Structure 1
Amino acid sequence: MPRRAVLIFAAAILLLAAGLGGYAWTIRQAAQPQGSGVALVGGPFSLTDQDGRRVTEKDFLGRYMLVFFGFTYCPDICPTELQVMTAALDAMGPAAEKIQPVFVSVDPERDTPEVMKAYVANFGPRLIGLTGTPEEIAAMAKAYRVYYAKAANQNAPGDYLMDHSSIIYLMDEDGSFVKHFAYITDVEKLTSELKKAITVSP
Structure 2
Amino acid sequence: MPRTRMIFAAVAAIVAGLGGWWALSVPEPDRFDQCRPGPRPPGLDKIGGPFTLVSETGETVTERDVVTGPSLLYFGYSFCPDVCPLDNTRNAQATYLLDERGVGVTPVFISVDPDRDTPELMEEFTEYMHPRMIGLTGTPKQVQAASRAYRTFYKVRDPEDEFYLIDHSTFTYLVFPGLGVVDYFERDVGPEDMADRVECYIRAVN
TM over 0.5: yes
Alpha-carbon distance in structure 2 between the residues aligned to 1:96 and 1:89: 9
Q: Is the contact made by 2:67 and 2:175 (CA closer than 8 Å) also made in structure 1?
A: no
Alpha-carbon distance in structure 2 between the residues aligned to 1:38 and 1:159: 35
Superposition deviation, residue 60 in structure 1: 3.5
Counterpart among 181, 192, 197 of residue 177 in structure 1:
181
User: Do structure 1's residue 162 and structure 2's residue 169 form an aligned pair?
Assistant: no
Gaps of 5+ in 1: 1-29
Aligned residues: 169
Gaps of 5+ in 2: 1-20, 29-42
Counterpart among 121, 136, 150 of residue 144 in structure 1:
150
What is the aligned partner in structure 1 of residue 118 from structure 2?
Answer: 112
Alpha-carbon distance in structure 2 between the residues aligned to 1:107 and 1:45: 16
Superposition deviation, residue 61 in structure 1: 4.9
The amino acid across from 1:134 in the alignment is: P
Counterpart among 50, 57, 65 of residue 51 in structure 1:
57
User: Do structure 1's residue 129 and structure 2's residue 135 form an aligned pair?
Assistant: yes
The amino acid across from 2:113 in the alignment is: D
Q: How has the CA–CA distance of structure 1 residues 115 and 158 changed in structure 2, closer, same or farther, with 3 Å as cutoff?
A: same
User: Do structure 1's residue 199 and structure 2's residue 203 form an aligned pair?
Assistant: yes
Q: How has the CA–CA distance of structure 1 residues 61 and 169 changed in structure 2, closer, same or farther, with 3 Å as cutoff?
A: closer
Alpha-carbon distance in structure 1 between the residues aligned to 2:122 and 2:65: 19
What is the aligned partner in structure 1 of residue 108 from structure 2?
Answer: 102
User: Do structure 1's residue 188 and structure 2's residue 192 form an aligned pair?
Assistant: yes
SS of structure 1 residue aligned to 2:108: strand
The amino acid across from 1:169 in the alignment is: Y
Alpha-carbon distance in structure 2 between the residues aligned to 1:61 and 1:132: 17
The amino acid across from 1:184 in the alignment is: D
C-alpha distance after superposition, 1:31-65 (max 9, x if no partner): xx979975211111111111111111111454011
Alpha-carbon distance in structure 1 between the residues aligned to 2:155 and 2:55: 22
The amino acid across from 1:193 in the alignment is: R
Superposition deviation, residue 96 in structure 1: 3.5
Q: Which shifted more, 173-182 or 158-167? A: 173-182
Q: Which shifted more, 117-126 or 54-63? A: 54-63
The TM-score with structure 1 as length reference comes to 0.77
Identical-residue share of aligned pairs (%): 35
Superposition deviation, residue 95 in structure 1: 3.4
The TM-score with structure 2 as length reference comes to 0.76
| Higher CA-based Rg | 1
Q: Is the contact made by 2:108 and 2:134 (CA closer than 8 Å) also made in structure 1?
A: yes
Alpha-carbon distance in structure 1 between the residues aligned to 2:54 and 2:84: 19
Q: How does 1:77-92 map to 2 (within 5 A)?
A: 77-92=83-98
SS of structure 2 residue aligned to 1:115: helix
Alpha-carbon distance in structure 2 between the residues aligned to 1:61 and 1:181: 18
